[in-house]
Amino acid sequence: MTFQFDVYKPLTEESAISLLKKLHFFAEDEHVTCREIGDGNLNLVFQMSTQGSTKKWIVKQALPYAKVVGESWPLTLKRAKIESEALLQFAKFTPHLVPEVLYSNETLALTIMEDLSHLSIARTGLIKGDSYPNLGKDIGTFLAHILFKTSDLGLSPTEKKEKAQQFSNPELCKITEDLVFTDPFFDHDTNDFEPELSEKVEQLWKEDELKLEVAKLKRLFLTNGDALIHGDLHTGSIFASEHETKIIDPEFAFYGPFGFDLGHFIANLLFNALRRPPAQTELFGFIHDTWETFSSVFTSLWKEDKNNPFLQVNGYLDYTLRTVWQDALGFAGCEMIRRTIGLAHVADLDTIEESELRIRTKEIALDIGRSLILNRVEIKNVQDLHEFYIENNEFLGNNARTV
Ligand SMILES: Nc1ncnc2c1ncn2[C@@H]1O[C@H](COP(=O)(O)OP(=O)(O)O)[C@@H](O)[C@H]1O
Ligand SMILES: CSC[C@H]1O[C@H](OP(=O)(O)O)[C@H](O)[C@@H]1O
């Protein structure tokens, strides 16, 4: 079969095999098995292997629309380039925490990468109760490196501005601006929630104090180009095992606020804590490890820099870390609300089978999201966050000790 490299066309299992043979990932006469395994909202993912060999590859290809909605929602193919370039960028700082990119093609909007199927998607594993002792430390390490080294702290002003241009990602940012920061706070037709939540949701839509705080957080997202961020760092974008962590799917990457990824990661751990009350201590342990590792690695990188005179100014590091934490809590609150009542949900909540428990858990997720946005300045550390979580969550049973 011939393969056209100069025209974009969505791959099929058959044409994906042909592509990988043309690129010599497999020999022409090899018997290759290929399966489309994409379960995300946006793209095609093909898994390819040959029997009796360790050769296993993943081909991820963007569609010219959002898969979850269909062709009525056109979406740029440029996101595939952003994703592969972000993975390459992250690999410069933390190669052990991202899949290896072996090939990318902007015209075909695809990336060929290392197959990580020996690991589990962290959301799925956490729901099952799997244990990931390194998860918090690894995410903290990842965030400290990418945030410090791609920001004005780690690059010259010119280099940073060039990188910000390279990762300009307006269409994907618009999705976040709408689906995370806008639609869930208004009566918008992208919202999706059970009728039993209507009263609570309508109450939320009436709260000007809350909307004012969300407007401030949205402005941060729109205007604070601190560093190259992943842009969608939820537990479904992380592969993990007891020993390894790999971050995937950075197609939403752009120059955004320091606290955004941390906030999304925290929110998604909180969803799992709501789903599994007995695992609360373990999940707050992850948040603790993430923050402690992030702040200590970020601090070391900061202290290594002897060229920037401002980095020696008393109070500047503390101010920076405090702002990252506060903003992260606000972003976490927005993520909790949007994943509960917006377009894209999380399995942690949606697969709670017993309907009364599911609705009650979602009500608590909304309460916690709302309070995180409103009280983000008062919650100073992980201990405060845990105490605050317990206060907001009498219903699900709070026999766990705080971290
Ligand atoms: N490198 C990989 N190795 C193995 N499976 C992968 C890999 N990348 C993605 N997948 C699988 O494909 C699914 C969707 O991938 P993801 O990058 O999240 O797509 P989307 O951008 O559509 O959300 C993942 O949940 C995972 O099951
Ligand atoms: C129409 S995109 C909705 C939602 O999907 C993305 O998540 P993922 O790629 O992990 O499935 C992102 O969170 C978007 O907000």
Please write the tens of the pLDDT for every residue from 293-328.
999 999 999 999 888 889 999 999 999 999 999 999
pLDDT score at 399: 46
| Mean pLDDT for the stretch of residues 336-356 | 98
Domain ranges of the chain: 13-114, 120-392
Confidence band of 397 (pLDDT split at 50, 70, 90):
low
Atom of ligand 2 at shortest range from CA of 236:
10
Residue linked to tokens 């299992």: 13
Pick the atom of ligand 1 nearest to 43's CA.
22
Q: What is the pLDDT of residue 118?
A: 96
40 CB near ligand 1 (under 6 Å):
yes
Q: What is the number of the ligand 1 atom nearest to the C-alpha of 67?
A: 22
The per-residue pLDDT for 1 is: 67
Around Cβ 378, how many Cβ atoms within 10 Å?
A: 11
Binding residues for substrate: 232, 338
Pocket test for ligand 2, best of 65, 67, 179, 334 (most atoms within 8 A of CB): 179
Q: How far is the CA of 246 from the centre of ligand 1 (A)?
A: 11
**For tokens 């909180």, what's the residue?**
270
Q: In this structure, which residue's CA is closest to atom 7 in ligand 2?
A: 41
Render pLDDT for 51-91 as a digit per residue (tens, 0 to 9).
Answer: 877 889 999 999 999 998 899 999 999 999 999 999 999 99
Gap from CA of 209 to ligand 1 centroid (Å) = 38
Q: Known binding site: residues?
A: 43, 60, 114-116, 232, 249-251, 338
344 touches ligand 2 (CB under 6 Å)? yes
Distance (Å) from CA 95 to ligand 2 centroid = 24
Distance between CA 213 and CA 219 in Å, rounded? 10
Which residue type sits at 295?
Answer: S
Measure the CA dihedral 32/37/43/45, to 10°.
-30
CB of 377 sitting under 6 A from ligand 2: no
* pLDDT tens by residue, 253-262: 999 999 999 9
| pLDDT, position 53 | 77
- Average confidence (pLDDT) over 35-44: 93
Judge if the beta carbon of residue 398 lies within 6 A of ligand 2: no
What does each C-alpha distance from 38 to 16, 24, 43, 177 come to in angstroms?
A: 14, 24, 7, 24
Atom of ligand 1 at shortest range from CA of 249:
17
pLDDT of residue 395: 66
- 166 pLDDT above the threshold of 50: yes
User: What is the pLDDT at residue 392?
Assistant: 84
Distance set, CA 277 to CA 123, 148, 258, 281, 394 (Å): 15, 34, 30, 9, 11
Average pLDDT score over residue span 145-155: 97
Residue among 260, 209, 245 at smallest CA distance from 134: 245
pLDDT at 175: 96
Check whether 403 has a pLDDT greater than 80. Answer: no
In 3-state terms the chain splits into helix, strand, coil percentages (rounded to 5) of 55, 15, 35
Closest ligand 1 atom to the C-alpha of 37?
Answer: 12
The stretch 148-165 carries a mean pLDDT of 97
- 394 pLDDT exceeds 80? no
Q: Provide the pLDDT for residue 71.
A: 93
- pLDDT tens, position by position, 87-107: 999 999 999 999 999 999 999
Amino acid identity for residue 318 in this structure: D
Same fold, 13-114 and 120-392: no
Mutate to test the pocket of ligand 2, among 37, 39, 42, 169 (most ligand atoms within 8 A of CB): 42
**Nearest ligand, CA of residue 65?**
2
Identity at 212, one-letter amino acid code: L
CATH class belonging to 13-114: alpha beta
pLDDT value for 2: 77
Check whether domain 120-392 has CATH 3.90.1200.10, yes or no: yes
Q: What spacing in Å lies between the alpha carbon of 126 and ligand 1's midpoint?
A: 17
Please choose from 60, 83, 175 the residue to mutate so as to test ligand 2's pocket, defined by most ligand atoms within 8 A of CB: 175
CA distances from 362 to 200, 217, 274, 347, 349 (A): 10, 22, 9, 12, 7
117 in contact with ligand 1, CB cutoff 6 A: yes
pLDDT at 348: 98
Q: Is the CB of 125 under 6 A from ligand 2?
A: no
Measured from the CB, is residue 101 less than 6 Å from ligand 1? no
Q: What is the pLDDT of residues 365-380, one digit of tens each?
A: 999 999 999 999 999 9
| Inter-CA distances, 257 with 2, 15, 222, 326, 346, Å | 45, 40, 9, 12, 23
Alpha carbon of 65 to ligand 2 centroid (Å) = 12
Exposure string for 51-86, b = 16+ CB within 10 A, e = fewer: eeeeebbbbbbbbebbbeeeeeeebbbbbbbbbbbb
